[in-house]
């Protein structure tokens, strides 16, 4: 799919104020600093559509970006910045759980995972929460440029094992990306195009 237009529409902390058109949307979620905003810029080929930072906690609101006039990418704040591990619901701002529980336009959540790290409890908790909430999701491994190709495969295999140990029957649909190198862009866009076409 070619990206012809990508425009910022609105930021807010209230799901009832998100755009109310019946257009499909894809949300990017994951730990602070995992690369959600960078991936939105990479996919849309725009340098600074979404604001990025080397410091965690940059994105603070629900941000809607309208693509090709007929679907949305949604940038969300990260979780897991707080040092103390609490339950997903407590760690998360209520407006984010509201978003996942009430947003009818959401067709798929992309859960971003730093490919370099061992499976983190907070990500597994969040994935389980999406399962319980019945939100369709894919896993997007980020920062693949930071490790070798062989290590990428190893890390994915380890992640799969961890999910199976957490009562998932199969590894969900997943993508390997690098925002600095453009890796995974075509695969993600093809997937979105397929879902948009139903």
Determine the interface stretch with ligand GTP among 11-19, 28-36, 100-108, 152-160 (rule: CB under 6 A): 28-36
Q: Which stretch binds Mg ion (CB under 5 A): 10-18, 58-66, 88-96, 101-109?
A: 58-66
In this structure, is the dihedral angle defined by the CA atoms of residues 27, 30, 31 and 33, taken in order, positive or negative? negative
Binders of ligand GTP: how many residues, by CB under 6 A? Answer: 23
- Decide: is 32 part of the binding site for ligand GTP (CB under 6 A): yes
Asked if 53 is part of the footprint of ligand GTP (rule: CB under 6 A), the reply reads: yes
78 sits near ligand GTP (criterion: CB under 6 A)? yes
Rounded least distance, CB 53 to ligand GTP, Å: 5
User: Does residue 57 interact with ligand GTP by CB under 6 A?
Assistant: yes
- Residue 4: count of CB within 10 angstroms of its CB: 8
Nearer to ligand GTP, 66 or 143 (CB): 143
What string of H, E and C letters represents the secondary structure of 93-140?
A: CHHHHHHHHHCCCEEEEEEEEECCCCCCHHHHHHHHHHHHHCCCEEEE
102 Cβ neighbours under 8 A, 6+ residues apart: 15, 16
Binding status of residue 180 toward ligand GTP by CB under 6 A: yes
Contact criterion met (CB below 8 Å) for 152 and 184: no
Residue 143 touching ligand GTP (CB under 6 A) = yes
**Dist CA 124 CA 158 (whole Å):** 13
Q: Give contact residues for Mg ion (rule: CB under 5 A).
A: 36-37, 58-59
Q: Give contact residues for ligand GTP (rule: CB under 6 A).
A: 32-38, 52-54, 56-59, 77-78, 142-143, 145-146, 178-180
């Amino acid at each position: 799919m070619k990206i012809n237009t990508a425009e910022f529409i609105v930021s807010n902390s209230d799901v009832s104020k998100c755009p109310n058109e019946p257009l499909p949307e894809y949300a990017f979620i994951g730990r602070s600093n995992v690369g959600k905003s960078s991936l939105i810029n990479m996919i849309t080929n725009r340098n600074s559509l979404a604001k990025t930072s080397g410091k965690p906690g940059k994105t603070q609101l629900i941000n809607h970006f309208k693509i090709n006039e007929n679907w949305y990418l949604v940038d969300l704040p990260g979780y897991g910045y707080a040092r103390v591990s609490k339950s997903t619901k407590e760690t998360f701002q209520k407006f984010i759980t509201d978003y996942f529980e009430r947003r009818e336009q959401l067709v798929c959540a992309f859960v971003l995972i730093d490919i370099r790290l061992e499976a983190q409890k907070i990500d597994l908790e969040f994935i389980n929460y999406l399962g319980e909430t019945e939100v369709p999701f894919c896993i997007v491994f980020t920062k693949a440029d930071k490790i070798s190709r062989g290590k990428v495969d190893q890390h994915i295999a380890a992640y799969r094992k961890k999910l199976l140990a957490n009562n998932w029957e199969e590894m969900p649909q997943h993508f390997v990306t690098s925002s600095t190198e453009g890796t995974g862009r075509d695969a993600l866009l093809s997937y979105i195009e397929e879902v948009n076409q139903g």
